[in-house]
């Protein structure tokens, strides 16, 4: 079937080659005259047909399209602009979780509305491909698309503000995280429109509105980071007795460092799970020694994953097995706190 398709394709191209003149775009001067750079984006390529003409034709088309996109990328690179010129109150941005890096990442150039034509020179066994896109059509498309994306960001921000006002910090932050890929699109569209339309103003690019949204997001992220909500789930077994020694002491340490505690895991920034059990070790005269063995897991609702887990054992002594076990549990707390601190500190 493939062989028949190739024969038919060759026959069609052969007839076209003999019965029609070569396209004007094949000649560079004609190409430049008919598709001037002020009105079109263009790309050109050629491929030698060695075996499969269908495959070679597709490769030539891909090359021509890549040539067009490459030129756009080079122009964008030469005109790289900072996404936002707005400044926060302290004169610099205070983004959390690499927000600025995410939004300024270069998007892959995809030129909507690009057309591609091919021509087969039977005598030279060459396939030529020409890709082109009308700038005015692209300007209209990307302006419309830019407006849609900016409005979407605005919607995310409004929802985040409402959630923050109701104390739902995690959900508010999730809404702000959802703006990252959209900001990336906006950044690219603004750069592309700058390339396509040299007369585009900042208002045409929705730059003031973008700046305002970006600054609002960074300030709201900073506000959400002022105080961490933690949900603690603790199971502590002191020789068969259920206690809360580690949880209570650890909460006191964390509170000093800006953490607040909630009864609902859905309202927390972090869920901390603590499992502690004690076991007898030995006696040295009147002193009993016991181990407190702990298993820890810190889950970030913001990142939707476990960010820290560990097993920590602490040996301590006391005048009785019970007191040694309690001391071992208490001595675990500063160790656990130092392990957790890098993950949950402001």
The SS3 call for residue 302 is: coil
Which three-class secondary structure state does DSSP give residue 307?
Answer: strand
Tens of pLDDT, residues 22-74: 898 998 899 889 999 888 888 999 999 988 889 999 999 999 988 888 877 77
Residue 87 is predicted with a pLDDT of: 34
| Domain at 228-344: CATH architecture | 2-Layer Sandwich (3.30)
Of 72-81, 130-139, 161-170, 304-313, the range with the lowest mean pLDDT is 72-81
Q: Sorting pLDDT into bands at 50, 70 and 90, what band is 298?
A: very high
> Would you state the pLDDT for residue 33?
92
pTM equals 0.52
pLDDT in tens, 234-243: 999 999 999 9
CA-based torsion, 238, 241, 247, 253: positive or negative: negative
Report which DSSP code applies to 84: -
Which residues have CB under 8 Å from 300's CB, separation 6+? 269, 270, 306, 307, 343
Taking the domains of the chain in order of start, what are their residue ranges? Answer: 2-85+112-134, 137-224, 228-344
Least confident of 77-91, 157-171, 204-218: 77-91
Average pLDDT over residues 290-307: 91
* Residue 93, number of CB atoms within 10 A of its CB: 17
Could you tell me how many residues make up the chain?
346
């Amino acid at each position: 079937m493939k062989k028949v398709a190739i024969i038919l394709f060759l026959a069609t191209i052969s007839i076209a080659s003999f019965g029609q003149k070569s396209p004007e775009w094949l000649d560079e001067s004609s190409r430049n005259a008919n598709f001037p750079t002020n009105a079109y984006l263009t790309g050109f390529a050629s491929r030698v047909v060695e075996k499969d003409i269908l495959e070679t034709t597709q490769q030539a088309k891909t090359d021509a399209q890549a040539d067009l996109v490459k030129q756009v990328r080079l122009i964008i690179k030469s005109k790289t602009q900072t996404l936002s010129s707005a400044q926060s109150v302290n004169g610099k941005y205070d983004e959390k979780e690499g927000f600025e890096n995410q939004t300024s990442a270069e998007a892959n150039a995809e030129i909507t509305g690009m057309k591609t034509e091919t021509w087969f020179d039977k005598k030279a066994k060459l396939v030529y491909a020409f890709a082109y896109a009308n700038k005015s059509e692209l300007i209209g498309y990307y302006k419309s698309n830019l407006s849609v994306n900016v409005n979407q960001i605005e919607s995310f921000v409004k929802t985040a503000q409402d959630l923050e006002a109701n104390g739902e910090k995690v959900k508010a932050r999730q809404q702000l995280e959802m703006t990252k890929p959209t900001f990336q699109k906006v950044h690219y569209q603004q750069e592309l429109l700058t390339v396509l339309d040299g007369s585009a103003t900042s208002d045409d690019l929705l730059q003031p509105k973008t700046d305002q949204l970006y600054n609002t997001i960074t300030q709201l992220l900073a506000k959400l980071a002022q105080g961490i909500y933690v949900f603690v789930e603790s199971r502590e077994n002191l020789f068969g007795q259920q206690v809360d020694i580690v949880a209570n002491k650890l909460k006191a340490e964390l509170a000093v460092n800006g953490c607040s505690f909630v009864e609902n895991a859905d309202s927390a920034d972090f869920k901390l799970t603590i499992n502690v059990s004690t076991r007898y070790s030995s006696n040295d005269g009147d002193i009993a020694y016991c181990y407190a063995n702990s298993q820890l897991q810190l889950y970030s609702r913001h990142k939707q994953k476990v960010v820290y887990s560990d097993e920590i054992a602490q040996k301590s002594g006391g005048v009785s097995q019970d007191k040694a076990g309690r001391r071992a549990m208490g001595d675990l707390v500063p160790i656990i706190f130092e392990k957790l601190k890098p993950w949950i500190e402001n």
